[in-house]
Amino acid sequence: MTLPEPVETTSSPLYMNYTYVAGTGRSVFLRGLNERRLLARHCPGCSLVYAPAPEFCSRCLRPVGPPFELPGTGEVSTFCVVNFPFPGQVYEPPYVVAHIMLDGAHNRLMHLVREVAPEEVTIGLRVEPVWVDDDELDTSTTSIRYFRPIGRPTRDVAAVPYAQTPIGPADA
């Protein structure tokens, strides 16, 4: 006995357009990127420095302080090498995606690390941002083209364990 052939496909494309609301806190950081500035904010309650910063501390719920500029340099706290192609990909694999701890901040920023062979990237690698040209600046993380190395790792990797949660221990 054979079952009737099921209908295998039917087309019903859904298009949905949205307005995304960045919010007051996130907007401060995004406006800074439009001016090649990496802005951080300090929580008066728990002394954490956020970059990017929300409008209030997600740990102690207090409003964070006024924005101030970070030097922009930082270090790779973890990374992975993207080896596979996928639709919409901007860079040809392999390339490096990293969590970057900006100097002076307590949370990490995700971005690309380029101008270095993937096999030479290490945790602890010192990096700096490469900004886009003036006419490409935007209130977007794409205002930073990528981060690039500014030397060799300066710290012993084992001394900065990633597991140290940036927003503090759970029993604090």
Partner 1 sequence: MVSFAQSPCVPADREHDMAEIVLPVIREALDACGLTRDDIDFFASGSHDFYEGRTFSYIESLDAVGAWPPISESHVEMDAAWAFAEAWAWLQLGEGQTAMVYGIGRSSLAADLDQILPAQLDPYLLAPLRPHRDALAGLQARALIDAGLLTERQLAEIVSRYKDVAVDKLMDAPHVAAPLRAHDIAPPGDAAAVIVLAAGDTARRLTAHPAWVRGLDHRMETHYPGVRDLTCSPSTRRAGERAAELAGFATADVQVAELHTEYSYQEPLLVAELGLKNAEVNPSGGPLAGWPATATGLIRIGEAARRIMDGTTGRALAHATNGPALQHNLVCLLAAQPRDPGQPRDPGQPRDAAQPPEAAQPREPEQPREPEQPRDAGQPREPGQPCDAAQPRDAAQPRDTAQPPEAAQARDAAPARDAAPARDAGEAR
Q: Footprint of partner 1 on this chain (CB under 8 A)?
A: 10-12, 14-26, 54-56, 58-61, 167-168, 170-172
**Nearest distance from C-beta of residue 8 to partner 1, angstroms:** 13
Q: Which is nearer to partner 1, 24 or 89 (by Cβ)?
A: 24
Q: Which is nearer to partner 1, 41 or 126 (by Cβ)?
A: 41
Q: Distance between CA atoms of 158 and 100, rounded to whole angstroms? A: 17
Q: What tokens appear for 123 in the block?
A: 């945790």
Q: Which is nearer to partner 1, 1 or 170 (by Cβ)?
A: 170
Q: What DSSP letter does each residue of 76-95 carry, written as one string?
A: EEEEEEE-S--TT--SPSSE
**Nearest distance from C-beta of residue 115 to partner 1, angstroms:** 32
Q: Which is nearer to partner 1, 13 or 87 (by Cβ)?
A: 13
Q: What tokens appear for 23 in the block?
A: 């919010």
CA 45 to chain centre: 24
Which residues on neighbouring strands pair with residue 130, listed in sequence order? 146
Q: What tokens appear for 142 in the block?
A: 């794409």
**Nearest distance from C-beta of residue 26 to partner 1, angstroms:** 6
Which residues on neighbouring strands pair with residue 81, listed in sequence order? 96
**Nearest distance from C-beta of residue 23 to partner 1, angstroms:** 3
